[in-house]
């Protein structure tokens, strides 16, 4: 590890010795507006249960209707922001994570900032006055969920935001950087700037592949970014598509992970690759070797919503990574966080984290 928490710190607090802005993430901030509705709401907006779509013009009134007519819950969302919220939950010290993203100049932005800040994340949003804050409507019908996302301002992040004094201070403090494949569609130049900064200062840049379409539609910026990536996350579906688009020989998760680890890299530090497979073992490639971590089974009746599992796993992994823990322990914490989150609606958590290493101990 390149950085480690002060081992002589005697405080019982997990995060007390961790500096602020140690981990910096950039992504697409969305305000999740979640409400329990009946089937008529789905029909009204031409939505389907257990589906996820991008909002069209006909869906624009949906967000305000959920706020005005239902007891809606608000959650600071977006993949990277979710993962940072999980890190904060585990670390238990405010502002260890700093987050960049673009929002509108509206009440949704105020709610989003309030929610993210209350979870401990230090948010430094770029404000776009021409577009509304990105939102995601979550319509809950029984055990089903229908998602309708309007990215709006989240897609308008620009590289010049990184040059602001507040952002520069955060960048100078960070030792770890994190972004996702989704952001390659928004500001690849911003990702490259942070990746190059990490490379030039011998810091760590982590990247989540995010979705199968990334390597198909954003391969050029992905090709430029990959040599800077120190830690690569993906699930098995994403990894399989990546393997096809990069003409890998292997088709199994372990084989794909090894080939990703062997892609060209600018430093001598070998790339770490993590591939999740839902209930099947997590694949970790470290120093060119494959390690498998079994996932402890969870009773189906305890599972509420698996949508936030990937974000939670990554957050759990990153929480231990920035503490200087071994990668196997990072995986263990990722499983703990995902296991907790899937027992709740959305990427949310209750109570204080009780994580201890080998929580996921499976013989």
The catalytic residues are 311
CB 158 within 8 A of CB 187: yes
Report helix, strand or coil for 351: coil
CB 171 within 8 A of CB 199: no
By CB neighbour count within 10 A (0-12 exposed, 13-18 middle, 19+ buried), where does 310 fall?
Answer: buried
Other Cβ atoms less than 10 A from the Cβ of 291: the count is 16
Rounded Cα distance between 22 and 116, Å, is 17
First to last CA, the chain: 27
Closest CA to 126 of 107, 104, 151: 104
CB 181 within 8 A of CB 214: yes
Length of the chain: 363
Closest CA to 178 of 169, 190, 168: 190
- What backbone torsions phi and psi does residue 134 show, to the nearest 5 degrees? -65, 140
């Amino acid at each position: 590890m390149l950085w480690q928490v002060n081992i002589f710190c005697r405080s019982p607090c997990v995060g007390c010795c961790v500096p602020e802005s140690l981990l910096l993430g950039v992504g697409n901030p969305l305000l999740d507006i979640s409400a329990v509705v009946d089937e008529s709401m789905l029909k009204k907006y031409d939505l389907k249960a257990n589906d996820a779509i991008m909002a069209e013009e006909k869906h624009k009134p949906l967000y305000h209707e959920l706020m005005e007519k239902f007891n809606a819950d608000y959650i600071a969302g977006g993949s990277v922001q979710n993962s940072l919220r999980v890190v904060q939950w585990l670390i238990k010290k405010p502002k260890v994570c700093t987050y960049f993203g673009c929002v509108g100049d509206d009440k949704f932005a105020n709610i989003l900032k309030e929610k993210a800040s209350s979870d401990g994340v230090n948010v430094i949003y770029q404000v776009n006055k021409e577009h509304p804050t990105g939102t995601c409507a979550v319509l809950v019908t029984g055990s089903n969920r229908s998602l309708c996302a309007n990215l709006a301002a989240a897609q308008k992040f620009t590289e010049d935001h990184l040059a602001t004094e507040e952002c520069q201070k955060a960048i100078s403090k960070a030792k770890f950087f994190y972004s996702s494949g989704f952001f390659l569609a928004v500001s690849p130049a911003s990702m490259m700037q942070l990746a190059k900064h990490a490379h030039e200062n011998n810091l760590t840049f982590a990247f989540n592949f995010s979705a199968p379409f990334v390597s198909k539609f954003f391969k050029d910026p992905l090709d430029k970014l990959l040599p800077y990536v120190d830690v690569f996350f993906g699930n098995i579906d994403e990894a399989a598509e990546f393997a096809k688009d990069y003409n890998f020989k292997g088709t199994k998760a372990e084989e794909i992970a090894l080939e990703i680890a062997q892609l060209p890299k600018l430093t001598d530090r070998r790339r770490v690759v993590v591939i999740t497979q839902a209930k099947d073992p997590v694949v970790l490639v470290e120093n060119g070797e494959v390690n498998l971590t079994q996932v402890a089974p969870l009773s189906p009746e305890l599972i509420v919503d698996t949508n936030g599992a990937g974000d939670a796993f990554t957050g759990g992994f990153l929480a231990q990574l920035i503490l200087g823990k071994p990668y196997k322990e990072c995986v263990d914490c990722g499983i703990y966080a995902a296991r907790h989150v899937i027992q709740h609606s959305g990427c949310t958590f209750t109570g204080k984290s009780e994580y201890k290493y080998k929580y996921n101990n499976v013989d």
